[in-house]
């Protein structure tokens, strides 16, 4: 039986380990041809190695699938272009781009260095923009040429970006930016036959395990809700032909739970149909805050 992504060409960035690795493997199981992109760096973005990406490619090929390695840096604009070209040249086109690559440089704001800020912004924000820009250009040209387009971009935000988390002003700001990028890109690219969605995943990876995420004891053989392979089914579905009408959404996903994040919503307001005097605003703002819902937190119960 053919998989739901049979014959589709997919790029997954940061696919050598963790969540990205599971995306690549599941896309291949569902019939896709996969560009496994990974710089092979450490959690903080330093270093490089082709080994992680090559191991994923070898596993896909051993199972009878098609995959190639790409080790371009996602935040190198020209490198991102080469990544997209590698899919087109090898597999005859590009259908899906999954922007998954990321690093951590956690620090409290008062101690954060400029380099820690800049590196996180580069990998997450520019590392989403650069490949998406090249993929969007490819799909726009196909659309202008009268060719069929059924493209997908799937971005990776975070609960930290949606709700905030202490010690992560850089990471949370980047992930919030990715959520906004997703919503705007969806509006812009729909005319070309491209949908854009994002995920805010929760899983045990080399980035989250040191923070204690998913380290709880569980019974042998029981469902591991923190396993990174739980994230892939939603991402693969979003990359399939079935998902063409879903766009501009951010999904929270962890274990067996999938939810839609509603993002910023308008709350109570006050309008006196004229300019406010600053001296009047104390009780007005206090009343608006009293009426407003409490902000969601990263650890809010479901």
Q: What is the pLDDT of residues 252-290, one digit of tens each?
A: 999 999 999 998 899 999 999 899 999 999 999 999 999
pLDDT in tens, 171-226: 999 999 999 999 999 999 999 999 999 999 998 866 654 555 555 666 777 778 88
| Mean pLDDT on 30-54 | 82
pLDDT for position 204: 84
Q: Which domain holds residue 157?
A: 9-261
**192 is a domain residue:** yes
What tokens appear for 107 in the block? 């620090």
**1 is a domain residue:** no
Cα 103 to Cα 53: distance, rounded to the nearest angstrom = 16
Of the candidate ranges 16-25, 27-36, 101-110, 219-228, the one whose mean pLDDT is the lowest: 219-228
| Mean pLDDT on 129-133 | 98
Q: Name the DSSP letter for residue 107.
A: B
Read off the pTM: 0.91
pLDDT for position 46: 63
If you write DSSP's letter for every residue of 127-186 in order, what string do you get?
HHHHHHHHHHHHHHHHHHTT----EEEEEE--HHHHH--TTBHHHHHHHHHHHHHHHHHH
Overall residue count recorded for the chain in this entry:
302
Strands 66-70 and 33-37: parallel
- 147 is an active site residue: no
What tokens appear for 109 in the block? 């704001």
- 158 is an active site residue: yes
| pLDDT over 90 at 168, yes or no | yes
- 126 is an active site residue: no
**226 is a domain residue:** yes
Q: Is the distance from CB of 32 to CB of 67 less than 8 angstroms?
A: no
pLDDT band at 91 (very low <50, low <70, confident <90, very high): very high
**288 is a domain residue:** no
**219 is a domain residue:** yes
**256 is a domain residue:** yes
pLDDT in tens, 218-262: 677 777 888 999 999 999 999 999 999 999 999 999 999 999 999
**31 is a domain residue:** yes
Catalytic annotation, pick one of 126, 138, 160, 175 = 175
**287 is a domain residue:** no
CATH value at residue 43: 3.40.50.720
Catalytic annotation, pick one of 119, 126, 171, 240 = 171
pLDDT for position 69: 97
Q: How many domains are there within the chain?
A: 1
Catalytic annotation, pick one of 119, 157, 158, 195 = 158
């Amino acid at each position: 039986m053919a998989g739901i992504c049979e014959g589709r060409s997919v790029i997954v960035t940061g696919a050598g380990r963790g969540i990205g690795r599971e995306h690549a493997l599941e896309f291949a199981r569902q019939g896709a041809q996969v560009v496994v992109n990974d710089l092979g760096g450490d959690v903080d973005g330093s270093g490089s190695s082709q080994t992680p990406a090559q191991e994923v490619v070898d596993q896909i090929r051993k199972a009878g699938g098609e995959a190639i390695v790409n080790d371009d840096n996602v935040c190198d604009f020209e490198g991102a272009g080469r990544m997209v070209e590698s899919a087109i040249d090898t597999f005859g086109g590009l259908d899906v781009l999954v922007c998954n690559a990321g690093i951590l440089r956690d620090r409290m704001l008062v101690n954060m260095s400029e380099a820690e800020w800049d590196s996180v912004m580069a990998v997450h924000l520019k590392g989403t923009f650069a490949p998406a820009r090249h993929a969007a250009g490819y799909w726009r040209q196909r659309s202008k040429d009268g060719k069929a387009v059924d493209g997908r971009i799937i971005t990776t935000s975070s609960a930290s970006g949606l709700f905030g988390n202490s010690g992560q002003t850089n990471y949370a700001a980047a992930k919030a930016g990715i959520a906004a990028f997703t919503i705007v890109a969806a509006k812009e690219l729909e005319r070309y036959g491209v949908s854009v969605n994002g995920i805010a995943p929760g899983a045990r990876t080399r980035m989250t395990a040191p923070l204690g995420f998913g380290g709880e004891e569980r019974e042998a053989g029981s469902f591991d809700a923190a396993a990174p392979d739980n994230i892939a089914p939603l991402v693969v579905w979003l990359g399939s032909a079935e998902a063409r009408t879903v766009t501009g959404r951010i999904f929270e996903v962890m274990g067996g739970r999938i939810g839609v994040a509603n993002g910023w919503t308008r709350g109570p307001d006050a309008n006196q149909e004229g300019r406010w005097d600053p001296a009047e605003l104390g009780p007005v703002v206090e009343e608006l805050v009293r009426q407003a819902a409490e902000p969601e937190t990263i650890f809010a119960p479901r």
